Amino acid sequence: MKFTVTRAYTHKTVAELREELLRVKSIVDYWKDKSDKRAFGEIKAGNISFEKWREIYASFGWIELEEYRCFYNPNSVSIDEEIITALPSIEGNSDNEQSGTWASYELDKSYSSFWKVWNKYYQKWCFRLNKLEMARFDMRRVSQTQTTRIEEALFVLLGLSPSVQGTEGFENFSLSERLFETDSIEYQDYQGNKLVINSNLYSNDDYGHLEWYLKQKKEYVLIERLATRGQPSDFSDRLSSSKFNEWAYKNNYIEDRVPMIRNTVESPFGEGFAFSLFSGLVEVGYLKGSFDCMWNLADGMSWMSLHYLANEIVNRKLIQTNSPFEHIKKYIHYASTYPLEDQFFKPAIDKFSETDDEKIFKQECDLINSALDNIEPNKAINYGE
């Protein structure tokens, strides 16, 4: 039996993307700071009515220009018979329009709106990167279909599991997605100039920051050439799965590996219990492979459920060990650099769709439970350390 694996390092790609995400975080912080300082810091959360906004600026002695929905600071600007004069800078003033010179209601509202969309984008990619780091590499979306989307092929070449696409956090995933697009805001300054401000979330040729970064990778350029056959006019977001697999093998992006022979001398659970465990998990479809080799999870099974398995054999007192996560790896091949003890299920902070990873995880755990239910504890106890 052979297993298709990627030759790229998942953790390296995820680390690069996390570096780019730090740049996004700095923009989130910028808009948060702008939002917090609106109206002398009197707007604590979200937005307020125009009337309440007017009251705040009027209470600080600012002068309203009603036709512009704007206030100006008389200590910074003098408007006399339509002659506008900038006064000498006072302490705390700068060339920032919100730092002491003037304020616009629409502009103040925009700061909160832009912070929210950038923060949602940031949280979305935090969830995605956590999931990519923990996901087991699974080629089925590429190997078992006639066509492969460019995004799926790109994930393969970068060492990321293409099978996360279509699951929670990656619903209808596309590099050209614009999930948090917001309209530009029109406003006027104290001179009546009509101005426009935008979040610039998709300012990189209409791509988000992380999507743009992925699109600039050399692997994307290669896939795009493969998909268009060198003719940009023939662009398609899909390519033949068989041709892509053949190309990826030929260019050493993926390879087949044969199972490793298991060291039966290092068998902390004992070979008797190990055989019962292997047989039960193979029967329910959780494992595949040969008993004498390192066991492999069946297609679609996750590292998180392997964490559950290691815990459950101890919780059920089927085996006694102080190192369940290290010992289970003596039997089951674990290919992730992410610590198995940290591979527990982590629900998303924000729900972006009806796709339910928790339901999928529960189905895997149900398979494990049905296998463990048939193992008798009194025949399985072994004091592995």
DSSP 226-259: HHHTT-GGG--SEEEHHHHHHHHHHTTSEEEEPP
pLDDT at 344: 75
DSSP state, residue 89: P
At residue 48, the pLDDT reads 84
- Give the highest mean pLDDT range of 79-83, 236-240, 348-352: 236-240
- Other Cβ atoms closer than 10 A to 78: 12
The rounded distance, in Å, linking the Cα atoms of 73 and 27 is 28
Is the distance from CB of 153 to CB of 240 less than 8 angstroms? no
Q: What mean pLDDT, rounded, does the chain reach? A: 85
Q: What is the pLDDT of residues 303-360, one digit of tens each?
A: 899 999 999 999 999 988 899 999 999 999 998 888 899 887 655 445 444 345 677 7
pLDDT at position 380: 46
Instruction: Tell me if residue 81 falls in helix, strand or coil.
Output: coil
Check whether 81 has a pLDDT greater than 80.
Answer: no
Which pLDDT score is estimated for 6?
76
Is residue 266 scored above 60 in pLDDT? yes
Can you read off the two tokens belonging to residue 319? Answer: 């085996």
Spatial CA neighbour of 159 closest among 91, 236, 214: 214
Taking the chain, what is the end-to-end CA distance rounded to the nearest angstrom? Answer: 32
Integer Cα distance of 260 and 366 in angstroms = 28
Report, as an integer, the average pLDDT of 148-157. 94
Mean pLDDT of 188-206: 94
- pLDDT above 60: residue 382: no
- The C-alpha R_g of the chain, in whole angstroms, comes to 29
In this structure, of 146-150, 231-235, 321-325, 348-352, the range with the lowest mean pLDDT score is 348-352
Least confident of 71-85, 154-168, 199-213, 245-259: 71-85
Q: How many angstroms from the chain centroid is the CA of residue 314?
A: 32
What pLDDT sits at residue 357?
Answer: 67
Q: What is the pLDDT of residues 109-124, one digit of tens each?
A: 999 999 999 999 999 9
Mean pLDDT of 14-31: 96
The pLDDT value given to residue 2: 54
Token pair 């460019």 is found at 150
pLDDT average, residue stretch 173-202: 94
Q: Which helix (H) or strand (E) holds 188?
A: strand 185-188
pLDDT at 88 over 50: no
User: Is the pLDDT at 68 greater than 80, yes or no?
Assistant: yes
